[in-house]
Structure 1
């Protein structure tokens, strides 16, 4: 493999890593939106889905260059709703 091919392969791998991060991050944001909506309406909610996706993001970040996300508590959701 020549240098150009090696650079292209590496660049493509980084791109695909970031694409997967963006997919996971969008899923996490959707899960946060659902929890916030339920909380605003005074209904029971869980952060389990948010944190399951966050765990996937953390594991994924270990394989490349994507950023990390923090786990979310129910109190964090309530605080966000109460501030807004």
Structure 2
């Protein structure tokens, strides 16, 4: 394999890794928005889906260059809504 091919292969792998991160991050943001909406309306909500996606992001980050995300608590959602 030439140097050019190796660089191209590496760049492609990094790009695909970041694309997958962006997909997971978007799913996480949608889950957060859903929780915030329920909280604002005074309805019960759970952060389980957010944290399941967060776990996927953390596992994915171990395989490449993408950033990490923090787990979310119900208190964090309530505090965000109160400040909003």
Helix, strand or coil at the partner of 1:69 = coil
Q: TM-score, normalised by structure 1?
A: 1.00
- Counterpart of 2:76 in structure 1 is 76
2:69 partner SS = coil
Q: Could you tell me which residue of structure 1 aligns to residue 48 of structure 2?
A: 48
- Counterparts of 2:67 and 2:83 in 1: how far apart (Å)? 26
Matched with 1:31 is 31
Q: Aligned-pair distance for 1:60?
A: 0.1
Q: TM-score, normalised by structure 2?
A: 1.00
Q: CA RMSD in A?
A: 0.1
Q: 2-side partners of 1:45 and 1:39: how far apart? A: 7
**Equivalents in 1 of 2:24, 2:64: separation in Å?**
14
Give the drift of 1:73.
0.1
Off by >6 Å, runs of 4+ in structure 1: none
Aligned length: 84
What is the distance in 2 between the residues matched to 1:81 and 1:45? Answer: 13
Gaps of 5+ in 2: none
**Structure 1: runs of 5 or more not aligned:** none
1:34, distance to aligned residue in structure 2 (A):
0.1
User: Counterpart of 2:19?
Assistant: 19
